[in-house]
Amino acid sequence: GENVEQHPSTLSVQEGDSAVIKCTYSDSASNYFPWYKQELGKGPQLIIDIRSNVGEKKDQRIAVTLNKTAKHFSLHITETQPEDSAVYFCAASNRNTGFQKLVFGTGTRLLVSP
């Protein structure tokens, strides 16, 4: 089955710096890669996703890149703000199974200091 590895487990940056979180996946059939943000006391919430037919996607200060050959994808946050502090999870799934089965990474705790 699919296995997703995520690094780093913790990341501390100064406000205004960029943050990069990296994930690798094992199943070459995976074709959907979402990123979730989990704030304290809340459930994870989707912030951006990418499908295997594109290599990069941007939404304001966040972007995701996908390298299918190397089987890795990354989340980039620019101009970080204190409210970006949270735990971020990457995930992968394969719609060819006919239903959604997301496999998550182990999470990255991002701390943005003012």
Partner 1 sequence: DVKVTQSSRYLVKRTGEKVFLECVQDMDHENMFWYRQDPGLGLRLIYFSYDVKMKEKGDIPEGYSVSREKKERFSLILESASTNQTSMYLCASCEGPNTEAFFGQGTRLTVV
In whole angstroms, the minimum distance from the beta carbon of 15 to partner 1 comes to 26
Nearer to partner 1 by C-beta: 72 or 78? Answer: 72
d(CA 15, CA 50) in angstroms, rounded, equals 26
In whole angstroms, the minimum distance from the beta carbon of 114 to partner 1 comes to 26
- Work out the angle at residue 47's Cα, subtended by the Cα atoms of residues 9 and 76, and round it to the nearest 5 degrees: 55
In whole angstroms, the minimum distance from the beta carbon of 46 to partner 1 comes to 5
Q: Is 46 in the site for partner 1 (CB under 8 A)?
A: yes
Q: Which residue stretch of 11-19, 59-67, 70-78, 92-100 sits at the interface with partner 1 (rule: CB under 8 A)?
A: 92-100
Contacts of 73 (CB under 8 A, 6+ apart): 22, 23, 25, 33, 50, 64, 65, 66, 67, 90
Q: Which residue stretch of 14-22, 61-69, 77-85, 95-103 sits at the interface with partner 1 (rule: CB under 8 A)?
A: 95-103
Q: Which residues pair with 90 in a beta bridge?
A: 35
Closest among 28, 102, 114 to 70, alpha carbons compared: 28
Dihedral (Cα; 17, 12, 112, 41), 10-degree rounding: 140
Q: Is 114 in the site for partner 1 (CB under 8 A)?
A: no
Q: Record the tokens describing residue 103, joined without a space.
A: 């496999």
Nearer to partner 1 by C-beta: 28 or 45? Answer: 45
Q: By the criterion CB under 8 A, which residues form the site for partner 1?
A: 1, 6, 9, 31-32, 34, 36, 41-46, 49, 51, 89, 93, 95, 97-107
